[in-house]
Amino acid sequence: MLTEERRAMAAIARALPAVVSISPQSKNAPDKKISARAASLLSGAVRVPQTRQTEGGSGFIVDRTGIVVTNIHVIDPGEREYTITTNDRTSYRATVISTDAIHDIAFLRIENPGKITALPSGDSSKLKLGQSVLAIGNVLGLFQNTVSSGIVSGLLRNVNARNEMIQEELRGLIQTDAAINPGNSGGPLITLDGKAIGINSASVAHAENIGFAIPINTIKKDLVTLKKYGAIARAFLGVRYVMLDDYTRQIVHAARQTGACVISPTPHLKAVIPGSPADKAGLRAGDVICRANDIPLTTEFTLQDFLDSFTKETEVRLTVDRDGREKTIAVLLTIV
């Protein structure tokens, strides 16, 4: 047997006790299985895999105190009580304790966890292209702990993902060719040493093995905040924007090469959210935020990357290009 096969088998054996299925306790939970018509509308789009909630989504235990992580799109916004089932078919009651809507992350806590196994976390910042990875999840809500293998195909990917229920922008993702099927969402992407380096989150409809995972370092940061404050704290500015590069600046007709252009993705949404810190500070649609606290904003260091560094109410300085002239605007960030 090849050395890599042995490593993969050992990694899977190490991870499986921490991988769980998640289903709402309510018997009236809605059916969220994608219909044939909805699936056809997603052709060519980055798709958030979805399955019947009553048949179980995926997640994994990240802390021996009973904390489970999954995707927000795996759980039902109207449900707080869930059943967590481990690989040995033991079931536990669990409650949603906090969510990170920016990164599509949800945390649940198991009641009376007893002796459970937490999946060790790796360091997603050290991932290399071509590195072998394994995706584990409950495919279609029917085949518990299905494993698919692949490599890291790309890093720091930004995508707009959607299914018939939600639409969201996901940033800084790990791209992999390990199969991500409906029901895989929320399960771990692991390395051959059995450590989680991401949460399986999205795939490209009608494409061959293009999947995405949220980096584990984002989850670790949220977990620290959760343990310290009892909830995830995120700085809120209140703008919709696109980071400028050679492609996007032509679409939005921006004169600047880099920065965060404040713009709405649809006519039905405002670029600056009414009543938000950005609104109160006077930011406008069409503004390009060039620097934040004198740090240049680029596709490598985005506005969201800047905001992620704050966990309490803070005043920041934004350098804004408005109609070809730069001005500095002070904004008091709130925490959500």
The more confidently predicted of residues 158 and 321 is 321
* pLDDT for residue 26: 66
Positive or negative, the CA dihedral 247, 250, 255, 259 is negative
Give yes or no for residue 159 having a pLDDT over 50: yes
* pLDDT for residue 142: 65
Q: What is the mean pLDDT of the chain?
A: 82
Query: What is the mean pLDDT of the segment spanning 230-242?
Result: 86
Give yes or no for residue 116 having a pLDDT over 80: yes
Rounded Cα gap, residues 58 and 56, in angstroms: 7
- The pairing of strands 196-204 and 188-191 is antiparallel
The model carries a pTM of 0.72
* pLDDT for residue 93: 93
Residues contacting 314, CB < 8 A, separation 6+: 235, 332, 333
* pLDDT for residue 336: 75
Query: What is the mean pLDDT of the segment spanning 101-128?
Result: 90
State pLDDT tens for residues 163-217: 444 445 667 789 898 888 777 788 999 999 999 999 998 776 666 678 889 999 9
Burial class (CB in 10 A: 0-12, 13-18, 19+), 87: middle
Give yes or no for residue 53 having a pLDDT over 70: no
- CA nearest 302: which of 158, 198, 160? 158
Query: What is the mean pLDDT of the segment spanning 265-290?
Result: 91
Q: What percent of the chain has pLDDT over 70?
A: 83
Q: At the topology level of CATH, where does 1-230 sit?
A: Thrombin, subunit H (2.40.10)
Structure tokens at 225: 């905040």
Please tell me which of 43-57, 131-145, 233-247 the model is most confident about, judged by mean pLDDT.
233-247
- CA nearest 98: which of 281, 230, 8? 230
DSSP secondary structure, 23-56, as one string: EES-TTPPP-PPPHHHHHHTTTSEE-----GGG-
The more confidently predicted of residues 63 and 53 is 63
Query: What is the mean pLDDT of the segment spanning 50-61?
Result: 64
Question: Which residue bears the tokens 């009236």?
Answer: 28
Rounded Cα gap, residues 123 and 220, in angstroms: 9
What ranges do the domains of the chain cover?
A: 1-230, 235-335
* pLDDT for residue 250: 86
Q: Give the confidence band of 56 by pLDDT, cuts at 50, 70, 90.
A: low
Give yes or no for residue 268 having a pLDDT over 60: yes
**Residues designated catalytic:** 73, 104, 185
> Which segment of 55-59, 230-234, 290-294 scores lowest on mean pLDDT?
55-59
Identify the CATH number of the domain defined by range 235-335. 2.30.42.10
The more confidently predicted of residues 75 and 38 is 75
* pLDDT for residue 232: 82
Q: Are 47 and 41 in contact (CB under 8 A)?
A: no
* pLDDT for residue 146: 84
For the chain, the distance separating the N- and C-terminal CA atoms, rounded to the nearest angstrom, is 51
